[in-house]
Chains A and B, each alone.
Chain A
Amino acid sequence: MSLSVDNNKAGLRKMDMKLENYPTCAVEALTRLETLIASRNKQNMVMQIISEYIFLERSAKDGPLKSQALPISQLNLFQEFQLIIALIEYFSRPGRDATRNAIFLSLFGSHLTPQRSKLLSRLISTAVSGSVAPLLSSAGTWMQQVGCKTPLSLEVAQNIVSDFISYTRKTPEQLKHLPMVGPHFAANFMVAVADLYLNEQRSHVLTPPPDALLDTITEWMTENPTLCQASQQPLILPAGAIAMPFATPLAGLLRWVVLAPLVSNRAAYSNLHLSLLRTLQQLVSSGETTALPIQDLMQIVQSLQNHCARLSESKTDPDTDAAYQKSMERFAQAVQIALSSNCITNQIQLLCVLESLPPHKLMKIVIAAHKK
């Protein structure tokens, strides 16, 4: 079929793909997009087709699409369900990763209507529970391209936690096996989910992650020692797209284990801490130097300082505060291993900040060892 712009649109209209025929038209539209998406100058049309035939979006005034107005999807609940099924089926079909990733990025860019982002969260949850590897792979790429800690990604992560952790008694097997099914997605999910908990910048209180989530993450980390590096694999993107820098969950999870003693005494943190140390040790051969960005470490220091401030308010000596001692023990161990593996830039700056914290024996040893 020859596809000029007009022809194509006309063809779509002409054929049995009438909007009333939903979701057949959406499925047909996805197939057509595969060819359109390759050419850069047809992006507008791609967006139009997606909006019109897949999400059934109209402008608020019910007229033809206007670029400024926020479009509103006409999908009813059942059609939304149909669309999710159609997308799952489409992504399960054999095909090129690059095409699939391009279509996913076109369907769900970085600025989504609330309806689309809600649909995205549901789609990904469905893919997780169905272990749909190709869709999860595209979702992983998407997450990295929009940024793991952006509200959109956090929303997706939060939704997964809700679906699989908060509202179930037992963690489903599908979530446990996520690192095998979609390692890239799992790694990026960890980056996002690490940001949600034990993060004073976000909530001003240290909220520990749900126990089941902690256990799941710990299990992932102990059983898949290379999981944190999964996000470093090169992305398969449409031609001309620029890959966004990857993030590892190491810094976020380190914040968890270091700050956890202040609010929780769960044994799983000890386990998670050990697997983090092992991961850091293994990084030495890969020569990766940005595994623990200095600002993330500073954030930990800040939280520890806040804790000490609270201690001094209650006239408690940090030396006698078991929680602080445990936090410092883990922090010092991680810093030592990270330094010996060259995972930290700005070493001197970090050591100076660490020195300003109320003293801890191991931290002193570590600082002394690296200040020479």
Chain B
Amino acid sequence: MTNSSEENELYMVKQAQSLRKSDPCAAKAWIITAKTLYPAAFNVQYEAYLLERDGKNYEEAAKCFSVIATNFPNQNSELWQEINSLTNALRNENENTPEQDFYVKMYKHLTPEVQHNIFMHTINHSGDNLEQCIYIYLLMFNKFPKSAVTQAPRLLEMLAEGMKTDPDLYQRILVEEVLPMIQNKPPELSPALACRLYTSSLEYYLRQIMDESDTADAWKNIFKVLMICGQMMGWEPFLPFSKHVNQNVYWEKLVDILSGSPAGSSQVLFYATTLFIYSLHGYIRNCKLRIEDADVSHVLVEGFMEWTPDGDGSEVPSMEPPKFSLTTPLSPELSKAFLHAAQCWQLLNTDQFQRDFSQLMLALPLAPWISRFLFDLAIYFGHRDEANKLMSDMTPQSSLVQSLQILSLNLMQGSMTLQGFQCILKILSELPATQGQLLDNMALKSHRHMVFLPLTRSALVQYCVGAIISRLSRKVYEPGCPDRLICDLLVLQQLNLLNDVLLTQQIFNVIKQRKSFNLRTLSTYIIAIDVIEELSFIWNSQQEDNFELTSSPPTSGSSGAPTAVTPGASGAQTRRIGTRGADKGARDEFKAITRQQIGRCNENVITLLANFISQEHLMLAQHIFGITQPVETIVIK
């Protein structure tokens, strides 16, 4: 190209430019002419395109654009700007400005070959701009689905690269945009890359699961992605996801695959990991339940073992894993999810998988779930030291839960420490508002068992009461057991008389056997009709034996409820209600107290017991730990 023709070419383009606004037709006439004179000049062709673009002539503009894109693909920043505008417009076709709308319409007039070339050239020239490059790939796959087959591996590699710097963005692109495109025909990938993509997708969905309440879709997607990645790696297909499939079915399939796979095979690793997280999620999710319009968490705690005098007493800790007590309707499902998670966890912590699995766990945002799970697992297996250690590592929960867990650990070791007792007081001082219901099967005979305890008033008080009872019950069988201990136990036993019938019977037996019994808590804390009836019966039937039942109010030193026995009597005075007939007034008084307590039978026993433990904690501590107490009025004749 000589200088003069370059100059002439420029002259004509300038002429056209000067007329572009005032007389577009004349401008076009210049350009048409210039095109016949200098068909190979980019300036001329580009000016021709601009004229059509400004005139919104999609078809003509498309022709000009095709010429430029075909003949001058590797030069000129102006062209790149236009291609950028074009691809940007295509990326969000539905929300375009009128200007972008032009590009979309023009695109439709380009030949498929030119369209495809534009994408490929853009990809090849996007240099460091990974995000743009990936979007162009997506655009191309959208417009030319066939290109996905050959180009997808490169795109996936780019995504993996991008995740190093911006995992959120590229995981979202991978999961939301790329996978749906390639799911029907997954490309062949290196195993390492495929595994990595699955891990990334899993990470993405797990974050979604942790943010949202409805998670069935996420799991459906996770299983789908697992299927795609499995296909890429030629794995034996796993089962598709369904909310209604029992987890046993998945586990059996996993065992099936495991039996046919070499040790440490990645398909088992990924299937088992997925299943583990699925069960774990089920466990964590089900730990929350709506009770009385409040979200109530369940906490895994040690159940109580009933103590019986005829037991061998040696208490050899059984090597068998504990059972889950059927305390609430939720328990079966919770325990199933927990046990499945535990199964997978154990499998994945065998030598063949342990290294890869722990790496996977590090990559996934599961820390809060895992620490909770490991703590519960340690409790479950009775690994006290480990549980203690894990508790200190755990993200701090509410002090209520923490107190409960410490108490539970305390009970696991068989004897309540002072710390455990303090936990009880702490729990009672922080009782939630949700009332809830009493649980069944909190205490069982002879076998260690676990309880999912809902954080409701009833359940928490029941657990605290149970803890104290289980600590004190054996003392009733000891000779010389103090009246105070027995009547305090009787108060506690009111919560559920039938729970430990043997114990209730033993308490009444002891009372009967004694000539004189100081029932100091009668007027304040005993309101259960069955107990009052039994006491009345003892009182009446033992009259001939000069039985004396004393109702001594709590010491004035304690902050106890005011005595209701004798309004006229001074607080420190001991009242004796004997059967020896001398004190007829006392007999009437006992009747009056009985009536009064019967009248209180509808009081909330939960609140009553919570108050009892708080108010009488010094006395209770003395019972449990033998700590010397300031002497209270105890009269034994």
Contacts and interface: CB of A to CB of B under 8 A. Distances in A.
B36 A337 contact: yes
A274 B28 contact: yes
Interface string B21-56: 001011011101100110000000000000000000
For chain A, give the interface size range: 10 to 19
A361 B33 CA distance: 13
Interface in A243-284: 267, 270-271, 273-274, 277-278, 281
A270 B24 CA distance: 9
Contact of A336 (B11, B28, B36): B36
A333 B32 contact: yes
For chain B, give the interface size range: 10 to 19
B36 A273 contact: no
Q: Is the interface of B mostly helix, strand, loop or mixed?
A: helix
Contacts of A274: 25-26, 28-29, 32
B8 interface: yes
A336 B29 CA distance: 11
B37 A270 contact: no
A43 interface: no
A223 to B, nearest CB: 14
A177 B26 CA distance: 26
B218 interface: no
A336 B25 contact: no
Given A362-B12, A365-B8, A333 B25 contact: no
A369 B32 contact: no
Interface in A317-338: 330, 332-333, 336-337
B578 to A, nearest CB: 126
Contacts of B36: 281, 336-337, 340
Contact of A270 (B23, B32, B33): B23
Contacts of B8: 365
A365 B37 contact: yes
A274 B37 CA distance: 17
B13 to A, nearest CB: 13
A362 B13 CA distance: 12
Contact of B29 (A330, A361, A365): A330
Nearest to A369: B37
Nearest to A272: B25
A90 B7 CA distance: 64
Contact of B32 (A271, A332, A337): A337
A362 B36 CA distance: 13
Given A361-B11, A362-B12, A277 B37 contact: no
Contacts of B37: 336, 340, 365-366, 369
Contacts of A340: 36-37
Nearest to A218: B25
Interface string B421-439: 0000000000000000000
Interface in A276-318: 277-278, 281
B33 A277 contact: yes
A340 B38 CA distance: 11
Contacts of A366: 37
Contacts of A361: 11
Given A337-B36, A365-B37, A270 B29 contact: yes
A369 B8 CA distance: 11
B15 to A, nearest CB: 8
Interface in A335-372: 336-337, 340, 361-362, 365-366, 369
B3 to A, nearest CB: 14
A124 B207 CA distance: 82
Contacts of A267: 23, 25
A369 B39 CA distance: 13
B281 to A, nearest CB: 67
Given A277-B33, A333-B30, A337-B33, A270 B25 contact: yes
B26 A336 contact: no
B164 to A, nearest CB: 55
Contacts of A273: 25-26, 29
A105 to B, nearest CB: 40
Nearest to A267: B23
Contacts of B12: 362, 365
B183 to A, nearest CB: 48
B33 A336 contact: yes
Contacts of A330: 29
Contacts of B32: 274, 277-278, 281, 333, 337
A267 B37 CA distance: 26
A333 B29 contact: yes
Nearest to B7: A365
Contacts of A362: 12, 33
Nearest to A370: B37
A274 B32 CA distance: 9
A330 B30 CA distance: 9
A155 to B, nearest CB: 33
Nearest to B39: A340
A271 B33 contact: no
A271 B26 CA distance: 8
Question: Which of B8, B32, B33 is packed against the most chain A CB atoms within 10 Å?
Answer: B33
B11 A271 contact: no
Nearest to A332: B33
Contacts of A271: 25
Contacts of A281: 32, 36
B317 to A, nearest CB: 99
A131 to B, nearest CB: 30
A11 B402 CA distance: 128
A332 B26 CA distance: 13
Contacts of A365: 8, 12, 37
B35 to A, nearest CB: 9
Question: Which of B23, B29, B30 is packed against the most chain A CB atoms within 10 Å?
Answer: B29
Contacts of B29: 270, 273-274, 277, 330, 333
A273 B26 CA distance: 8
A146 to B, nearest CB: 35
Contacts of A336: 33, 36-37
B23 A333 contact: no
Nearest to B30: A333
B28 to A, nearest CB: 5
Contact of B26 (A270, A278, A337): A270
Contacts of B23: 267, 270
Nearest to A361: B11
Question: Which of B11, B12, B37 is packed against the most chain A CB atoms within 10 Å?
Answer: B37
B5 to A, nearest CB: 9
Contacts of B33: 277, 332-333, 336-337, 362
B223 to A, nearest CB: 60
Contacts of A332: 33
B622 to A, nearest CB: 110
Question: Which of B23, B25, B28 is packed against the most chain A CB atoms within 10 Å?
Answer: B25
Interface string B504-544: 00000000000000000000000000000000000000000
Interface in B325-361: none
B524 to A, nearest CB: 106
B63 to A, nearest CB: 13
B538 to A, nearest CB: 117
A336 B32 CA distance: 10
Going nearest first, the 10 A-B pairs with the smallest beta carbon separation are A340-B36, A270-B25, A274-B25, A333-B33, A270-B26, A271-B25, A336-B33, A365-B8, A274-B29, A333-B29
16 contacts: A270-B23, A270-B25, A273-B25, A273-B26, A274-B28, A274-B32, A281-B32, A281-B36, A332-B33, A333-B29, A336-B36, A361-B11, A362-B12, A365-B8, A365-B12, A369-B37
Interface of B: 8, 11-12, 23, 25-26, 28-30, 32-33, 36-37
Interface of A: 267, 270-271, 273-274, 277-278, 281, 330, 332-333, 336-337, 340, 361-362, 365-366, 369
Given A333-B32, A333-B33, 10 more contacts: A270-B29, A273-B29, A274-B25, A274-B32, A281-B36, A336-B36, A362-B33, A365-B8, A365-B12, A366-B37
